[in-house]
A and B are shown apart, each in its own frame.
Chain A
Amino acid sequence: MAYSQKVIDHYENPRNVGVLDAKDESVGTGLVGAPACGDVMKLQIKVNDQGVIEDAKFKTFGCGSAIASSSLATEWIKGKTLEEANTIKNTEIAQHLSLPPVKLHCSMLAEDAIRAAIQDYKQKHRAA
Protein backbone atom coordinates (compact mmCIF):
# COMPACT_ATOMS: atom_id res chain seq x y z
CA MET A 1 0.00 0.00 0.00
CA ALA A 2 1.35 3.40 -0.89
CA TYR A 3 1.14 6.11 1.73
CA SER A 4 0.34 9.69 0.85
CA GLN A 5 3.13 12.24 1.06
CA LYS A 6 1.43 13.88 4.03
CA VAL A 7 1.28 10.61 5.98
CA ILE A 8 4.95 9.97 5.24
CA ASP A 9 5.88 13.50 6.31
CA HIS A 10 4.04 13.21 9.65
CA TYR A 11 5.43 9.72 10.20
CA GLU A 12 9.01 10.74 9.53
CA ASN A 13 8.78 14.15 11.21
CA PRO A 14 6.03 13.79 13.78
CA ARG A 15 4.96 17.10 15.35
CA ASN A 16 4.56 17.44 19.08
CA VAL A 17 5.72 14.05 20.29
CA GLY A 18 6.10 14.15 24.02
CA VAL A 19 4.53 14.28 27.41
CA LEU A 20 2.79 16.93 29.52
CA ASP A 21 2.38 16.51 33.26
CA ALA A 22 -0.92 14.67 33.57
CA LYS A 23 -1.27 15.83 37.18
CA ASP A 24 -1.11 19.51 36.22
CA GLU A 25 -4.50 21.19 36.58
CA SER A 26 -4.17 22.86 33.18
CA VAL A 27 -3.51 19.57 31.38
CA GLY A 28 -6.09 17.18 29.93
CA THR A 29 -5.06 13.66 28.90
CA GLY A 30 -6.86 11.32 26.52
CA LEU A 31 -5.83 7.68 26.11
CA VAL A 32 -7.80 5.81 23.46
CA GLY A 33 -7.59 2.61 21.46
CA ALA A 34 -6.36 -0.79 22.63
CA PRO A 35 -3.07 -2.66 22.28
CA ALA A 36 -4.97 -5.73 21.09
CA CYS A 37 -6.36 -3.74 18.19
CA GLY A 38 -2.95 -2.44 17.20
CA ASP A 39 -3.59 1.25 17.91
CA VAL A 40 -3.23 3.26 21.09
CA MET A 41 -3.10 7.06 21.13
CA LYS A 42 -2.29 9.30 24.05
CA LEU A 43 -3.06 12.94 23.40
CA GLN A 44 -2.52 15.71 25.92
CA ILE A 45 -3.56 19.35 25.90
CA LYS A 46 -2.43 22.27 28.01
CA VAL A 47 -5.17 24.87 28.34
CA ASN A 48 -4.64 28.48 29.43
CA ASP A 49 -6.98 30.74 31.43
CA GLN A 50 -8.76 31.91 28.29
CA GLY A 51 -9.72 28.32 27.46
CA VAL A 52 -7.24 28.16 24.59
CA ILE A 53 -5.12 25.09 23.93
CA GLU A 54 -1.63 26.51 24.12
CA ASP A 55 0.25 23.22 23.85
CA ALA A 56 -0.49 19.67 22.74
CA LYS A 57 1.58 16.48 22.84
CA PHE A 58 1.01 12.94 21.70
CA LYS A 59 2.40 9.44 21.78
CA THR A 60 1.02 6.75 19.52
CA PHE A 61 1.42 2.99 19.17
CA GLY A 62 0.20 2.12 15.71
CA CYS A 63 0.78 2.14 12.01
CA GLY A 64 2.02 5.12 10.01
CA SER A 65 -1.51 6.39 9.44
CA ALA A 66 -2.25 6.31 13.17
CA ILE A 67 0.94 8.21 13.96
CA ALA A 68 0.19 10.74 11.22
CA SER A 69 -3.44 11.21 12.37
CA SER A 70 -2.43 11.96 15.93
CA SER A 71 0.46 14.19 14.86
CA LEU A 72 -1.90 16.18 12.65
CA ALA A 73 -4.48 16.37 15.42
CA THR A 74 -2.01 18.00 17.82
CA GLU A 75 -1.00 20.45 15.11
CA TRP A 76 -4.62 21.43 14.43
CA ILE A 77 -5.79 21.87 18.00
CA LYS A 78 -2.93 24.11 19.11
CA GLY A 79 -4.15 27.70 19.43
CA LYS A 80 -7.80 26.65 19.26
CA THR A 81 -10.33 27.03 22.04
CA LEU A 82 -11.74 23.86 23.57
CA GLU A 83 -14.98 24.46 21.72
CA GLU A 84 -13.23 24.88 18.39
CA ALA A 85 -11.07 21.79 18.98
CA ASN A 86 -14.17 19.81 19.81
CA THR A 87 -15.55 20.39 16.34
CA ILE A 88 -12.62 18.74 14.49
CA LYS A 89 -14.01 15.80 12.55
CA ASN A 90 -12.32 12.53 11.69
CA THR A 91 -13.40 13.05 8.09
CA GLU A 92 -11.32 16.22 7.92
CA ILE A 93 -8.26 14.39 9.24
CA ALA A 94 -8.82 11.51 6.82
CA GLN A 95 -9.27 13.86 3.91
CA HIS A 96 -6.22 15.93 4.73
CA LEU A 97 -4.03 12.82 4.95
CA SER A 98 -5.73 11.05 2.00
CA LEU A 99 -6.30 7.97 4.15
CA PRO A 100 -7.55 4.88 2.29
CA PRO A 101 -10.77 3.21 3.56
CA VAL A 102 -8.92 0.57 5.63
CA LYS A 103 -7.19 3.36 7.54
CA LEU A 104 -10.23 5.48 8.37
CA HIS A 105 -10.28 4.05 11.89
CA CYS A 106 -6.98 5.88 12.53
CA SER A 107 -8.63 9.24 11.96
CA MET A 108 -11.61 8.24 14.11
CA LEU A 109 -9.23 7.32 16.88
CA ALA A 110 -7.53 10.73 16.60
CA GLU A 111 -10.91 12.45 16.94
CA ASP A 112 -11.65 10.27 19.97
CA ALA A 113 -8.29 11.23 21.46
CA ILE A 114 -9.04 14.96 21.13
CA ARG A 115 -12.47 14.50 22.71
CA ALA A 116 -11.04 12.37 25.52
CA ALA A 117 -8.36 14.95 26.35
CA ILE A 118 -10.93 17.77 26.44
CA GLN A 119 -13.23 15.62 28.54
CA ASP A 120 -10.43 14.92 31.01
CA TYR A 121 -9.61 18.61 31.29
CA LYS A 122 -13.25 19.55 31.86
CA GLN A 123 -13.63 16.78 34.42
CA LYS A 124 -10.73 18.21 36.43
CA HIS A 125 -12.25 21.67 36.40
CA ARG A 126 -15.74 20.55 37.24
CA ALA A 127 -14.35 18.83 40.30
CA ALA A 128 -12.31 21.87 41.32
Chain B
Amino acid sequence: MVTRPIYLDYQSTTPCDPRVLEIMLPYFTEEFGNPHSRSHAYGWQAEEAVETARAQVAKIIHADPREVIFTSGATESNNLALKGVAQFYKAQKDHIVTCVTEHKCVLDSCRHLEQAGFKITYLPVQPNGIIDLNRLKDALTDRTVLVSIMAVNNEIGVIQPLAEIGKICREKGIFFHTDAAQAVGKIPLDVEMMNIDLLSISGHKLYGPKGIGALYVRRKPRVRLTALITGGGQERGMRSGTLSTPLCVGIGAACAMAQAEMGEEHARLCALRDRFYNTILSELEEVYLNGDFEQRIPGNLNISFAHVEGEGLMMGVKELAVSSGSACTSASLEPSYVLRALGVEEEMAHTSLRIGFGRFTTEAEVDMAAEKIIREVHRLREMSPLWEMSRAGINLKSIQWAAH
Protein backbone atom coordinates (compact mmCIF):
# COMPACT_ATOMS: atom_id res chain seq x y z
CA MET B 1 0.00 0.00 0.00
CA VAL B 2 1.25 3.46 -0.82
CA THR B 3 1.15 5.70 2.23
CA ARG B 4 0.21 9.25 1.49
CA PRO B 5 2.34 12.18 2.64
CA ILE B 6 1.49 14.04 5.85
CA TYR B 7 -0.76 16.93 4.87
CA LEU B 8 0.77 20.26 5.90
CA ASP B 9 -0.72 22.55 3.29
CA TYR B 10 -3.86 23.83 5.04
CA GLN B 11 -3.67 27.26 3.38
CA SER B 12 -4.06 25.57 0.01
CA THR B 13 -7.19 23.71 1.01
CA THR B 14 -8.64 21.76 3.91
CA PRO B 15 -10.39 18.41 3.86
CA CYS B 16 -14.13 18.57 4.23
CA ASP B 17 -14.85 17.65 7.85
CA PRO B 18 -16.63 14.27 7.91
CA ARG B 19 -19.22 15.80 10.27
CA VAL B 20 -19.92 18.45 7.63
CA LEU B 21 -20.23 15.86 4.88
CA GLU B 22 -22.68 13.87 7.02
CA ILE B 23 -24.96 16.90 7.28
CA MET B 24 -24.68 17.59 3.54
CA LEU B 25 -25.45 14.11 2.25
CA PRO B 26 -29.29 14.04 2.49
CA TYR B 27 -29.42 17.19 0.34
CA PHE B 28 -27.93 15.31 -2.61
CA THR B 29 -30.64 12.65 -2.54
CA GLU B 30 -33.90 12.80 -0.54
CA GLU B 31 -33.87 16.58 0.01
CA PHE B 32 -33.12 17.40 -3.59
CA GLY B 33 -35.59 20.23 -4.07
CA ASN B 34 -34.78 23.50 -5.79
CA PRO B 35 -34.52 26.06 -3.00
CA HIS B 36 -36.09 28.62 -5.31
CA SER B 37 -39.22 26.56 -5.98
CA ARG B 38 -42.09 28.20 -4.14
CA SER B 39 -44.92 25.88 -5.09
CA HIS B 40 -44.23 22.71 -3.12
CA ALA B 41 -42.63 21.16 -0.06
CA TYR B 42 -39.49 19.98 -1.87
CA GLY B 43 -38.60 23.58 -2.56
CA TRP B 44 -39.62 24.84 0.89
CA GLN B 45 -37.46 22.29 2.67
CA ALA B 46 -34.45 23.07 0.52
CA GLU B 47 -35.04 26.77 1.05
CA GLU B 48 -35.21 26.29 4.80
CA ALA B 49 -31.87 24.43 4.74
CA VAL B 50 -30.26 27.17 2.64
CA GLU B 51 -31.56 29.88 4.98
CA THR B 52 -30.28 28.03 8.04
CA ALA B 53 -26.88 27.84 6.34
CA ARG B 54 -27.02 31.54 5.46
CA ALA B 55 -27.67 32.35 9.12
CA GLN B 56 -24.71 30.17 10.18
CA VAL B 57 -22.41 31.96 7.74
CA ALA B 58 -23.71 35.34 8.89
CA LYS B 59 -23.21 34.47 12.54
CA ILE B 60 -19.48 33.75 12.29
CA ILE B 61 -18.87 37.32 11.04
CA HIS B 62 -21.63 38.95 13.16
CA ALA B 63 -23.71 39.90 10.15
CA ASP B 64 -27.41 39.74 9.36
CA PRO B 65 -28.34 36.69 7.22
CA ARG B 66 -29.89 39.03 4.63
CA GLU B 67 -26.40 40.44 4.04
CA VAL B 68 -24.90 37.12 2.93
CA ILE B 69 -25.05 35.85 -0.64
CA PHE B 70 -23.70 32.52 -1.81
CA THR B 71 -21.15 32.26 -4.62
CA SER B 72 -18.97 29.55 -6.11
CA GLY B 73 -16.01 30.45 -3.93
CA ALA B 74 -13.80 33.27 -2.72
CA THR B 75 -12.46 33.95 -6.22
CA GLU B 76 -15.97 34.75 -7.41
CA SER B 77 -16.73 36.71 -4.23
CA ASN B 78 -13.63 38.84 -4.73
CA ASN B 79 -14.42 39.39 -8.40
CA LEU B 80 -17.98 40.40 -7.54
CA ALA B 81 -16.95 42.72 -4.71
CA LEU B 82 -14.35 44.56 -6.77
CA LYS B 83 -15.88 44.61 -10.23
CA GLY B 84 -19.45 44.86 -8.93
CA VAL B 85 -18.83 47.88 -6.71
CA ALA B 86 -16.55 49.56 -9.27
CA GLN B 87 -19.14 49.20 -12.04
CA PHE B 88 -22.05 50.38 -9.94
CA TYR B 89 -20.39 53.57 -8.69
CA LYS B 90 -18.28 54.38 -11.73
CA ALA B 91 -20.18 57.54 -12.57
CA GLN B 92 -19.16 59.09 -9.24
CA LYS B 93 -15.91 57.42 -8.29
CA ASP B 94 -13.17 55.52 -10.11
CA HIS B 95 -10.36 54.76 -7.67
CA ILE B 96 -9.64 51.58 -5.71
CA VAL B 97 -6.93 50.95 -3.13
CA THR B 98 -5.54 47.46 -2.60
CA CYS B 99 -2.24 45.90 -1.60
CA VAL B 100 0.60 44.14 -3.42
CA THR B 101 0.36 40.94 -1.38
CA GLU B 102 -3.32 40.28 -2.16
CA HIS B 103 -4.42 37.01 -3.69
CA LYS B 104 -4.10 36.82 -7.47
CA CYS B 105 -7.87 36.95 -7.93
CA VAL B 106 -7.99 40.38 -6.29
CA LEU B 107 -4.94 41.64 -8.17
CA ASP B 108 -6.20 40.29 -11.46
CA SER B 109 -9.65 41.81 -10.94
CA CYS B 110 -7.87 45.12 -10.35
CA ARG B 111 -5.86 44.70 -13.56
CA HIS B 112 -9.08 44.21 -15.48
CA LEU B 113 -10.57 47.29 -13.89
CA GLU B 114 -7.46 49.27 -14.80
CA GLN B 115 -7.93 48.24 -18.41
CA ALA B 116 -11.51 49.46 -18.13
CA GLY B 117 -10.27 52.89 -17.05
CA PHE B 118 -10.28 52.67 -13.25
CA LYS B 119 -7.33 53.84 -11.20
CA ILE B 120 -5.81 51.39 -8.75
CA THR B 121 -3.34 52.07 -5.96
CA TYR B 122 -1.32 49.04 -4.89
CA LEU B 123 -0.09 49.70 -1.35
CA PRO B 124 3.28 48.23 -0.43
CA VAL B 125 3.68 46.24 2.78
CA GLN B 126 6.20 46.60 5.58
CA PRO B 127 8.92 43.96 6.00
CA ASN B 128 6.59 42.08 8.39
CA GLY B 129 3.93 41.82 5.68
CA ILE B 130 1.50 44.32 7.20
CA ILE B 131 0.34 47.49 5.51
CA ASP B 132 1.28 50.92 6.82
CA LEU B 133 -1.94 52.68 7.88
CA ASN B 134 -0.46 56.09 7.16
CA ARG B 135 0.22 55.09 3.57
CA LEU B 136 -3.36 53.88 3.34
CA LYS B 137 -4.66 57.23 4.58
CA ASP B 138 -2.44 59.07 2.12
CA ALA B 139 -3.70 56.97 -0.78
CA LEU B 140 -7.38 57.82 -0.24
CA THR B 141 -8.94 60.56 -2.35
CA ASP B 142 -12.45 61.83 -2.93
CA ARG B 143 -12.49 59.57 -6.02
CA THR B 144 -11.83 56.43 -3.94
CA VAL B 145 -14.80 54.09 -3.93
CA LEU B 146 -13.31 50.97 -2.35
CA VAL B 147 -10.42 49.72 -0.25
CA SER B 148 -9.73 45.99 -0.61
CA ILE B 149 -7.27 44.55 1.91
CA MET B 150 -7.15 40.87 2.76
CA ALA B 151 -7.71 39.71 6.34
CA VAL B 152 -5.07 36.95 6.42
CA ASN B 153 -2.42 36.36 3.79
CA ASN B 154 -2.47 32.95 2.14
CA GLU B 155 1.31 32.59 1.90
CA ILE B 156 2.60 34.12 5.11
CA GLY B 157 -0.47 34.00 7.39
CA VAL B 158 -0.15 37.57 8.63
CA ILE B 159 -3.27 39.35 9.88
CA GLN B 160 -3.94 42.88 8.62
CA PRO B 161 -5.29 45.48 11.08
CA LEU B 162 -8.91 45.20 9.93
CA ALA B 163 -10.56 47.33 12.63
CA GLU B 164 -8.14 50.19 12.00
CA ILE B 165 -8.59 49.99 8.23
CA GLY B 166 -12.38 49.85 8.66
CA LYS B 167 -12.36 52.92 10.87
CA ILE B 168 -10.31 54.94 8.37
CA CYS B 169 -12.59 53.94 5.50
CA ARG B 170 -15.83 54.58 7.37
CA GLU B 171 -14.71 58.08 8.36
CA LYS B 172 -14.11 58.88 4.70
CA GLY B 173 -17.26 57.20 3.42
CA ILE B 174 -15.24 54.65 1.44
CA PHE B 175 -16.31 51.01 1.25
CA PHE B 176 -14.02 48.44 2.85
CA HIS B 177 -13.81 44.97 1.31
CA THR B 178 -11.74 42.21 2.84
CA ASP B 179 -10.85 38.84 1.34
CA ALA B 180 -11.29 36.72 4.46
CA ALA B 181 -10.85 33.32 2.82
CA GLN B 182 -7.93 32.47 5.13
CA ALA B 183 -9.40 34.20 8.17
CA VAL B 184 -12.94 32.93 8.65
CA GLY B 185 -12.99 30.30 11.37
CA LYS B 186 -9.37 31.07 12.27
CA ILE B 187 -9.67 34.49 13.93
CA PRO B 188 -12.70 36.32 15.36
CA LEU B 189 -14.31 38.57 12.75
CA ASP B 190 -17.01 41.15 13.39
CA VAL B 191 -18.22 43.22 10.46
CA GLU B 192 -19.82 45.75 12.81
CA MET B 193 -16.91 46.26 15.14
CA MET B 194 -14.45 46.27 12.21
CA ASN B 195 -16.57 48.44 9.90
CA ILE B 196 -16.30 45.92 7.07
CA ASP B 197 -18.67 46.53 4.14
CA LEU B 198 -17.89 43.50 1.98
CA LEU B 199 -16.24 40.25 3.04
CA SER B 200 -15.33 37.19 0.97
CA ILE B 201 -15.55 33.66 2.35
CA SER B 202 -14.40 30.32 0.95
CA GLY B 203 -15.96 26.98 1.92
CA HIS B 204 -12.97 24.73 1.39
CA LYS B 205 -10.58 26.78 3.50
CA LEU B 206 -12.63 26.10 6.62
CA TYR B 207 -13.30 22.36 6.35
CA GLY B 208 -16.35 22.82 4.16
CA PRO B 209 -16.85 21.67 0.58
CA LYS B 210 -15.12 23.07 -2.50
CA GLY B 211 -17.22 24.94 -5.02
CA ILE B 212 -18.99 27.24 -2.57
CA GLY B 213 -18.21 30.60 -1.05
CA ALA B 214 -20.07 33.62 0.18
CA LEU B 215 -19.93 37.37 -0.01
CA TYR B 216 -21.11 39.60 2.80
CA VAL B 217 -22.63 42.80 1.41
CA ARG B 218 -23.56 45.45 3.99
CA ARG B 219 -27.16 46.75 4.05
CA LYS B 220 -26.69 49.77 6.34
CA PRO B 221 -25.10 51.89 4.98
CA ARG B 222 -26.07 50.07 1.87
CA VAL B 223 -23.46 48.78 -0.54
CA ARG B 224 -24.71 48.28 -4.07
CA LEU B 225 -23.08 46.33 -6.82
CA THR B 226 -23.58 45.35 -10.42
CA ALA B 227 -24.05 41.61 -10.78
CA LEU B 228 -21.49 39.64 -12.79
CA ILE B 229 -23.85 36.73 -13.34
CA THR B 230 -27.38 37.63 -14.36
CA GLY B 231 -30.42 35.47 -14.87
CA GLY B 232 -33.22 34.50 -12.51
CA GLY B 233 -32.34 37.18 -9.99
CA GLN B 234 -31.49 34.83 -7.12
CA GLU B 235 -29.43 36.08 -4.17
CA ARG B 236 -31.17 39.47 -4.22
CA GLY B 237 -30.23 39.93 -7.84
CA MET B 238 -26.54 39.99 -7.04
CA ARG B 239 -25.83 36.43 -8.16
CA SER B 240 -28.24 34.52 -10.34
CA GLY B 241 -28.29 30.75 -10.63
CA THR B 242 -29.88 27.92 -8.66
CA LEU B 243 -28.10 27.46 -5.37
CA SER B 244 -26.57 24.10 -4.58
CA THR B 245 -28.41 23.17 -1.40
CA PRO B 246 -25.83 20.57 -0.22
CA LEU B 247 -22.94 22.98 -0.76
CA CYS B 248 -24.76 25.80 1.06
CA VAL B 249 -25.58 23.42 3.92
CA GLY B 250 -21.91 22.39 3.96
CA ILE B 251 -20.44 25.87 4.23
CA GLY B 252 -23.05 26.73 6.87
CA ALA B 253 -22.24 23.68 8.99
CA ALA B 254 -18.51 24.34 8.53
CA CYS B 255 -18.94 27.91 9.81
CA ALA B 256 -20.97 26.76 12.81
CA MET B 257 -18.35 24.16 13.74
CA ALA B 258 -15.42 26.50 13.22
CA GLN B 259 -17.09 29.14 15.38
CA ALA B 260 -17.91 26.71 18.18
CA GLU B 261 -14.38 25.28 18.23
CA MET B 262 -12.32 28.34 17.40
CA GLY B 263 -10.94 29.08 20.87
CA GLU B 264 -9.89 25.53 21.58
CA GLU B 265 -8.51 24.97 18.08
CA HIS B 266 -6.52 28.20 18.19
CA ALA B 267 -4.80 27.13 21.42
CA ARG B 268 -4.11 23.64 20.05
CA LEU B 269 -2.59 24.99 16.82
CA CYS B 270 -0.45 27.50 18.70
CA ALA B 271 0.99 24.64 20.76
CA LEU B 272 1.66 22.52 17.65
CA ARG B 273 3.17 25.44 15.77
CA ASP B 274 5.45 26.37 18.69
CA ARG B 275 6.52 22.77 19.13
CA PHE B 276 7.45 22.49 15.47
CA TYR B 277 9.10 25.89 15.17
CA ASN B 278 11.15 25.55 18.36
CA THR B 279 12.46 22.17 17.23
CA ILE B 280 13.50 23.64 13.89
CA LEU B 281 15.17 26.63 15.55
CA SER B 282 17.04 24.47 18.05
CA GLU B 283 18.46 22.19 15.35
CA LEU B 284 19.12 24.50 12.39
CA GLU B 285 20.98 27.76 11.97
CA GLU B 286 20.14 30.44 9.45
CA VAL B 287 16.43 29.85 9.43
CA TYR B 288 14.28 32.91 8.87
CA LEU B 289 10.55 33.39 9.39
CA ASN B 290 8.80 35.32 6.62
CA GLY B 291 6.05 37.60 7.91
CA ASP B 292 5.23 38.82 11.38
CA PHE B 293 5.25 36.17 14.12
CA GLU B 294 2.75 37.83 16.47
CA GLN B 295 0.22 39.16 13.95
CA ARG B 296 -0.23 35.77 12.39
CA ILE B 297 -2.61 32.82 12.39
CA PRO B 298 -1.11 29.86 14.26
CA GLY B 299 -1.73 27.45 11.37
CA ASN B 300 0.93 29.01 9.15
CA LEU B 301 4.69 29.15 9.08
CA ASN B 302 6.66 30.42 6.10
CA ILE B 303 10.31 29.73 6.64
CA SER B 304 13.43 30.39 4.57
CA PHE B 305 16.17 27.81 5.04
CA ALA B 306 19.20 29.77 3.83
CA HIS B 307 21.26 28.17 1.05
CA VAL B 308 18.80 25.33 0.41
CA GLU B 309 16.54 25.70 -2.62
CA GLY B 310 12.85 25.23 -1.79
CA GLU B 311 11.88 22.83 -4.52
CA GLY B 312 14.95 20.72 -3.90
CA LEU B 313 13.98 20.62 -0.24
CA MET B 314 10.40 19.62 -1.00
CA MET B 315 11.65 16.76 -3.10
CA GLY B 316 13.68 15.60 -0.13
CA VAL B 317 10.74 15.73 2.25
CA LYS B 318 8.40 13.86 -0.05
CA GLU B 319 6.70 12.34 3.01
CA LEU B 320 5.30 15.84 3.64
CA ALA B 321 2.75 17.75 1.55
CA VAL B 322 3.96 21.34 1.80
CA SER B 323 4.50 24.17 -0.68
CA SER B 324 7.35 26.49 -1.53
CA GLY B 325 7.77 30.13 -2.44
CA SER B 326 10.41 29.07 -4.89
CA ALA B 327 9.72 29.75 -8.53
CA CYS B 328 10.27 26.20 -9.56
CA THR B 329 6.97 25.02 -8.14
CA SER B 330 4.99 27.04 -10.64
CA ALA B 331 5.19 27.60 -14.35
CA SER B 332 6.76 31.01 -13.85
CA LEU B 333 10.42 31.33 -13.01
CA GLU B 334 9.88 34.22 -10.60
CA PRO B 335 9.90 33.48 -6.88
CA SER B 336 6.85 34.37 -4.76
CA TYR B 337 5.63 37.93 -5.33
CA VAL B 338 4.41 38.00 -1.73
CA LEU B 339 7.86 37.30 -0.32
CA ARG B 340 9.42 39.78 -2.75
CA ALA B 341 6.94 42.40 -1.53
CA LEU B 342 8.21 41.94 2.03
CA GLY B 343 11.67 42.80 0.75
CA VAL B 344 12.84 39.19 1.05
CA GLU B 345 15.70 38.91 -1.43
CA GLU B 346 15.23 36.62 -4.38
CA GLU B 347 17.84 34.15 -3.15
CA MET B 348 16.03 33.85 0.19
CA ALA B 349 12.61 33.64 -1.49
CA HIS B 350 13.92 30.61 -3.35
CA THR B 351 14.64 28.87 -0.05
CA SER B 352 11.20 29.15 1.53
CA LEU B 353 8.71 26.52 2.58
CA ARG B 354 5.12 27.18 3.57
CA ILE B 355 4.01 24.80 6.30
CA GLY B 356 0.32 24.80 7.18
CA PHE B 357 -1.17 23.14 10.25
CA GLY B 358 -4.86 22.45 10.70
CA ARG B 359 -7.69 20.62 12.34
CA PHE B 360 -6.41 17.14 11.60
CA THR B 361 -2.71 17.76 12.27
CA THR B 362 -1.35 15.69 15.16
CA GLU B 363 1.63 16.12 17.45
CA ALA B 364 3.21 12.97 16.02
CA GLU B 365 2.91 14.40 12.48
CA VAL B 366 4.47 17.68 13.52
CA ASP B 367 7.37 15.88 15.18
CA MET B 368 7.95 13.72 12.14
CA ALA B 369 7.79 16.74 9.84
CA ALA B 370 10.35 18.65 11.89
CA GLU B 371 12.67 15.65 11.94
CA LYS B 372 12.46 15.11 8.17
CA ILE B 373 13.00 18.78 7.38
CA ILE B 374 15.98 19.08 9.73
CA ARG B 375 17.62 15.96 8.29
CA GLU B 376 17.08 17.07 4.70
CA VAL B 377 18.24 20.66 5.26
CA HIS B 378 21.47 19.28 6.74
CA ARG B 379 21.93 16.93 3.78
CA LEU B 380 21.26 19.59 1.15
CA ARG B 381 23.45 22.15 2.88
CA GLU B 382 26.33 19.70 2.71
CA MET B 383 25.65 19.64 -1.02
CA SER B 384 25.19 23.41 -1.37
CA PRO B 385 28.04 25.55 -2.73
CA LEU B 386 26.38 28.60 -1.14
CA TRP B 387 26.39 27.03 2.31
CA GLU B 388 30.07 26.12 1.87
CA MET B 389 30.92 29.67 0.81
CA SER B 390 28.95 31.23 3.62
CA ARG B 391 30.65 28.91 6.15
CA ALA B 392 34.01 30.00 4.71
CA GLY B 393 33.04 33.58 5.45
CA ILE B 394 32.59 34.58 1.82
CA ASN B 395 30.04 37.32 1.33
CA LEU B 396 27.79 35.93 -1.39
CA LYS B 397 26.86 39.44 -2.42
CA SER B 398 30.49 40.18 -3.29
CA ILE B 399 30.40 37.63 -6.10
CA GLN B 400 29.55 38.58 -9.65
CA TRP B 401 26.84 36.06 -10.45
CA ALA B 402 25.87 35.55 -14.03
CA ALA B 403 22.09 35.76 -14.23
CA HIS B 404 20.66 33.12 -16.49
A residues bordering B, Cβ < 8 Å? Answer: 3, 8, 11, 14, 17, 19, 31-42, 59-64, 66-67, 102, 105, 108-109, 112
Answer whether residue B386 sits at the interface, using C-beta atoms and an 8 A cutoff: yes
Answer whether residue B311 sits at the interface, using C-beta atoms and an 8 A cutoff: yes
CB distance from B356 to the nearest CB of A (A): 20
A40 to B350, CA, bound (A): 12
B396, A33: Cβ atoms under 8 Å? no
Answer whether residue B5 sits at the interface, using C-beta atoms and an 8 A cutoff: no
List of A residues within 8 angstroms of B350 by Cβ: 35-36, 38
Residue of A nearest to B324 (CB): A63
B312-328 interface (Cβ within 8 A of A): 312, 315-316, 326-328
Which of the residues B308, B347, B382, B383 comes within 8 Å of A36, measured between beta carbons? B347
List of B residues within 8 angstroms of A67 by Cβ: 312, 383
A102 to B383, CA, bound (A): 23
B296-355 interface (Cβ within 8 A of A): 307-309, 311-312, 315-316, 326-328, 331, 333, 335, 345-347, 350
B239-259 interface (Cβ within 8 A of A): none
List of A residues within 8 angstroms of B384 by Cβ: 40, 59-61
Which of the residues A11, A34, A60, A62 comes within 8 Å of B402, measured between beta carbons? A34
Residue of A nearest to B387 (CB): A61
List of B residues within 8 angstroms of A63 by Cβ: 309, 311-312, 315, 326, 328
B403, A62: Cβ atoms under 8 Å? no
A105, B404: Cβ atoms under 8 Å? yes
Residue of A nearest to B311 (CB): A63
Which of the residues B311, B326, B383 comes within 8 Å of A17, measured between beta carbons? B383
Chain A interface mostly: mixed
B328, A38: Cβ atoms under 8 Å? yes
Interface size on B, residues (CB 8 A): 30
**If the complex has contacts A17-B383, A31-B385, A38-B350, are A62 and B312 also in contact, measured as CB distance less than 8 A?**
yes
List of A residues within 8 angstroms of B386 by Cβ: 35, 40, 61
Answer whether residue B388 sits at the interface, using C-beta atoms and an 8 A cutoff: yes
B311, A37: Cβ atoms under 8 Å? no
B312, A14: Cβ atoms under 8 Å? no
B177-216 interface (Cβ within 8 A of A): none
CB distance from A14 to the nearest CB of B (A): 6
CB distance from B274 to the nearest CB of A (A): 30
List of B residues within 8 angstroms of A66 by Cβ: 309, 312
A-B pairs with beta carbons under 8 Å apart, 26 shown: A8-B315, A11-B312, A11-B315, A19-B388, A31-B385, A32-B402, A33-B402, A34-B404, A36-B401, A37-B404, A38-B311, A38-B328, A38-B347, A39-B404, A40-B385, A40-B386, A41-B385, A61-B384, A61-B385, A61-B387, A63-B311, A67-B383, A102-B328, A102-B333, A109-B404, A112-B404
Task: Kindly name the residue among B331, B385, B404 whose own CB sees the greatest number of chain A CB atoms within 10 A.
Answer: B385
Which of the residues A32, A39, A64 comes within 8 Å of B315, measured between beta carbons? A64
List of B residues within 8 angstroms of A38 by Cβ: 309, 311, 326-328, 333, 335, 346-347, 350
B307, A61: Cβ atoms under 8 Å? yes
Residue of B nearest to A8 (CB): B315
A36, B312: Cβ atoms under 8 Å? no
Residue of A nearest to B316 (CB): A11
CB distance from A31 to the nearest CB of B (A): 7
